Structure 1
Amino acid sequence: MTHRITGQPEHHRTSSWLLLSFIIIKMIFQFAVLSPCYELHRDEYLHLDMANHLAAGYLSVPPLTAFNSLLVQWLGNNFFWVKFFPALYGALTMALIWKMVEKLNGGWFAQVLAALVFLCSGFSRMNILYQPNSFDILAWTALFWCLMQYLQTRKNKWLLWMGVVTGIGILNKYNIIFLVIGMAGALGLSAHRKVYKNKYLYTGMGIALVIIAPNIIWQLQHGMPVLHHMKELSESQLVHVSRISFLGDQLLFFMGGAFIVVAAAIGLIFSPGFRPYRVIIGVYALTILLFTYLRAKSYYAAGLYPVLLAFGSVYWERIFTHDWTRYLRLLWLALIVVPFALLVNVIFPVMKPAQISEKAGKFKKLGLLRWEDGQDHSLPQDFADMLGWRELADMAWQTWQRVPEADRPYTLLICDNYGEAGALNYYNKGRNIPLANAMNADYVFWFHEMDTIRYIVKIGTKPEAEYMKMIGHMEQTGIMKDTLSREYQSGAGAWLMSDLSPDLPAALKMALREKQNVYRGR
């Protein structure tokens, strides 16, 4: 049947309304699970500060995040807009999954099933943070969408679009390169290997290279800091990752919806209707093997799953369509929603920090208290990274007020790490205080060098011994009160230093050059 006004088939119209409803629910949900007790995450402050230092590359991420941050700045730079974009990218990913189900001739039940699994999974937790991850997953899903279109239609334009998506994806996060490697290997091992004789594939590669060329040039000019960043990540964080845990976490990511992922694998291997797309299970296998070998963090592979949710939902719908089995549909929906609803308070920053600390056992059983150092703490690491930042910014502002006005042009504001520096620059914007510096992450290239320094306002711990001898007078002007924040546990406070040696600027410049050279691999 067709609608009498739009002329569209009724099931398409119903599907469109359902999709719109899920997008609205998704956007509302992402804000509903954010308690006002929490601030932004340490990484979010760095990413937002990139808008003040636009470039073709950065130490920690490619440049797309910086331009997204510039847009956030134009919109007001407030909490709503910071959180809006990861939620939006999650909603767009869900819409792509919905269209994939439609392409596979799935009905409204398969679409609802796929959307619910996406919503009631670890994806929603990732979509609360302003990090490159949400757009990364969207880019992976878009690349799979282009691959599906090409496998079905054999139209060469989709090879060109694959190049566009890959280029934009790399400008957001280098992680998508691992998908490209897995996809290239799977296509080469399948019956689709003749694609390597298609000139449009190489044209698409050329498009991707043109898109990422500015970032490649930046990396070469700065000594390929991405290599140092990967080495540092491997030595400080990935060394604590277990390969077995990585594999086990893949299904835990979906909780009650894991059966849909399993159904996708079975369907892609055995279902004749999925035969044109069978290479996708090869892409999944090769990429997972690569990540396992590299001891990757569990969420690095998250972008592999949206396409599997589409296939799994369609396969599951076909199984439970005939006779009495159709009445089991509500059971499968409940199996997805109920476990997720029971765990919302531990997956998301809904509970107050003190409440989480009191119920630490529940969080520990789920492995949520383990930080990147391999140890268990009072709060999940992401939650502890959302506390204490405004307090530090206020301490810096109050300490700055104690500097004589005539000496303020010769006062250095320095922090121990990028989270502190980014938070100070975010919360102190509009106050008469200079931008904060740090000899950490991207701030090593943004550092405001000074030939004359009369005062130092420091946020963090006491200076190292080599600098103490150049400081005549030092006073601690602030102590953190938020005992559950990550910065409190590292001993962060506020310090005012004066009677400085004239040798101090040169010593700081030397330390800064050494740090820059490390990032440049020299």
Structure 2
Amino acid sequence: MNRQIKLIVLFFCIIKLILHLIADSHSGFQGDELLHIETGNHLAFGYMEFPPLIGLIAFIQNLFQSHSVFVHHLFSHIATLLILIYVAITTIELGGKNKAVFLVLLAIIIAPGFGRSQQLFQPVVFSQLFWVLGFYQLVRFINYLDKKSLWYLTLFCILGFLTKYDSVFFLFGLSALLLFKKTRIALIKHKFWLNTIVFVLCIVPNIIWQFRNDFPLLQMTHRLYETQLDDISRLSNVTGLLIAINPIVSLLLVVPALIYLFKSKDKSVVRILSTAISLSFLLLLYTNGKSYYFFPIILTLLPFGGIFWEQRVLVKRKWILYPVSFLLLLGAVLIPFGMPVYSFNRYLEKVYPHEEKEIQGGEYGVKYDEYYTQEKWATTIKELKSVYDSLPNNEKQDCLIWGKHYGQAGAVNLFGTPYQLPKAFSYHGSFYSWAPKGQMPDVVIALSYRVGTFFNAYFEDVTLVKTIYNPYADNEEELYQRIYICKKPRQSFNKLKELFRTRIFE
């Protein structure tokens, strides 16, 4: 990497970091982040929704004992910068130079889908990182057929699997190595079965955890298809993907990347890589995953788009770089549609009018809840505090809070300590694994969204005491949060866990 390319990478890393820090200052936590933060208090070989690595990262962040967005986005931002750096390095390894690197990194910066997925503390950003790192080592292995690259590739496959199960799509793409004589001979020479054994040994603890917990991954997947994925057509999925990564990026880099891959004369390298990418894409398309599941594949395509412009167009017409760069810069207007780089009031003024999200009973309908959750959870915790303080001392002693949704339970555990609130439990998602055992206390404060008489089945006396209105919710269920005082439980915690065994994701 020459000095000019280093300066380009440094420039985009600084811009990217600034954008994320501005977004941090304007946002609260997205609902799923509260679950991920809580995993750091319950280290395990697996969780109901995802593999164990996110818990280890959360554990490190939790050592700061902070509920700051900046602290809990620390590793997400590090991963984001590493993604930029290694996409640039991959571009160079594929033969690109400064112009290709510039176009590729600019494309990543202006993609709203990358902005949001790399902003939040979720397995998604770390999955993208290990996919990019794995793809870089794949390129190196195809180029040099060396054992070192193969072992690094194995390492990032392990880390990818322990981060998010969508790594199976990347692993499926690696089967392309067996389809070509050049790489097949190298794999046999380096005894690739040893790499396979090491990979299996490293993921076995998570597989055993899945087995001992009745494979919650299968239950979650079934529920996901039942409630979401079965209603999404593959065409709308691909269309949503092209919009999420910015239509300008799709037109100026993704399409040229596909042209380069399938028309390149470099048969020994590009054909293997194009086969690997195609296999990953086709399997993902067949399973009909959400559009953001394709983001790592786009990150592997973009370098080829940059190289297409640099090697096929700019060689003879250097001036074209300026209009192409200008068009990409115009795409920056979509950044606020993915990241809260605007303050919330400015967002409501500038971005919200372009989103048709108004729902019956609501005043707005904001698409991404991190824009307003600072206010939402501050209000919720204060209302819970007032309900808790209203209890007689003898009822406070063993009182716990039941969060119907894992985000609610996570919010109570993250923000409730300064208010001296009791800990929250839940039977939703991974909170199911951490539910208390033994007898229930005589009094439980329950927090839910609209659930009607849900708690009546578990307590003899259920009283609705507070209703919290959220004018920004983008669905009717979350317009209101309800706080109940529940007395005289009908069963123990052990019985509750048995009752919710097949309802973890409801």
TM-score, normalised via structure 2 length = 0.90
The one-letter amino acid of 1:333's match is: S
| Equivalent pair of 1:15/1:108 in contact (CA under 8 Å) | yes
Per-residue CA distance 1:410-442 (angstroms, 9 max, x = gap): 323101110100011111134423210112111
- Who is 1:289 aligned against? 282
Are residue 128 (structure 1) and residue 119 (structure 2) matched? yes
Are residue 316 (structure 1) and residue 323 (structure 2) matched? no
- Who is 1:113 aligned against? 103
- Who is 2:92 aligned against? 102
The one-letter amino acid of 1:60's match is: E
Per-residue CA distance 1:365-419 (angstroms, 9 max, x = gap): xxxx599xxxxx8221555784622322222222111222222233231011101
- Who is 1:374 aligned against? none
Output the CA distance in 2 between the equivalents of 1:154 and 1:287. 22
Q: Which one of the candidate residues 258, 262, 266 is aligned to 1:265? A: 258
CA pair 472-312 structure 1, distance change in 2 beyond 3 A:
closer
Q: Which one of the candidate residues 380, 386, 392 is aligned to 1:392? A: 380
TM-score, normalised via structure 1 length = 0.87
Q: Which one of the candidate residues 491, 499, 505 is aligned to 1:505? A: 491
Offset of 1:76 from its aligned partner? 4.1
| Equivalent pair of 2:133/2:156 in contact (CA under 8 Å) | yes
Per-residue CA distance 1:101-146 (angstroms, 9 max, x = gap): 2223322111111111111112122111110011101111111111
Output the CA distance in 2 between the equivalents of 1:461 and 1:315. 51
Once structures 1 and 2 are overlaid, which stretch shifts more, 149-158 or 449-458?
449-458
Once structures 1 and 2 are overlaid, which stretch shifts more, 424-433 or 487-496?
487-496
Offset of 1:188 from its aligned partner? 3.5
The one-letter amino acid of 1:300's match is: Y
- Who is 2:22 aligned against? 32
Q: Which one of the candidate residues 409, 413, 424 is aligned to 1:425? A: 413
CA pair 214-343 structure 1, distance change in 2 beyond 3 A:
same
| Equivalent pair of 1:267/1:311 in contact (CA under 8 Å) | yes
- Who is 1:20 aligned against? 10
Output the CA distance in 2 between the equivalents of 1:413 and 1:425. 10
CA pair 25-144 structure 1, distance change in 2 beyond 3 A:
same
The one-letter amino acid of 2:468's match is: M
CA pair 449-429 structure 1, distance change in 2 beyond 3 A:
same
Output the CA distance in 2 between the equivalents of 1:282 and 1:92. 25
- Who is 1:187 aligned against? 177
Are residue 216 (structure 1) and residue 203 (structure 2) matched? no
Q: Which one of the candidate residues 57, 82, 106 is aligned to 2:72? A: 82
| Equivalent pair of 1:384/1:486 in contact (CA under 8 Å) | no
- Describe the SS at the equivalent of 2:43: coil
Output the CA distance in 2 between the equivalents of 1:335 and 1:462. 46
Output the CA distance in 2 between the equivalents of 1:278 and 1:65. 35
Offset of 1:156 from its aligned partner? 1.7
Output the CA distance in 2 between the equivalents of 1:390 and 1:438. 20
Count of aligned pairs: 493
| Equivalent pair of 1:477/1:495 in contact (CA under 8 Å) | yes
- Who is 1:46 aligned against? 35
The root-mean-square deviation of aligned C-alpha atoms, in Å, is: 2.7
Are residue 328 (structure 1) and residue 320 (structure 2) matched? yes
Offset of 1:450 from its aligned partner? 4.5
Output the CA distance in 2 between the equivalents of 1:247 and 1:287. 14
CA pair 461-86 structure 1, distance change in 2 beyond 3 A:
closer
The one-letter amino acid of 1:307's match is: T
Once structures 1 and 2 are overlaid, which stretch shifts more, 253-262 or 39-48?
253-262
| Equivalent pair of 1:480/1:488 in contact (CA under 8 Å) | no
CA pair 243-407 structure 1, distance change in 2 beyond 3 A:
same
- Who is 2:366 aligned against? 379
Query: What is the percentage of aligned positions where both structures have the same residue?
Result: 22
CA pair 358-169 structure 1, distance change in 2 beyond 3 A:
closer
Runs of 4+ with >6 A deviation: none
CA pair 242-382 structure 1, distance change in 2 beyond 3 A:
farther
| Equivalent pair of 1:160/1:203 in contact (CA under 8 Å) | no
- Describe the SS at the equivalent of 2:447: strand
Output the CA distance in 2 between the equivalents of 1:48 and 1:408. 26
Are residue 61 (structure 1) and residue 50 (structure 2) matched? yes
Are residue 92 (structure 1) and residue 85 (structure 2) matched? no
- Describe the SS at the equivalent of 1:459: strand
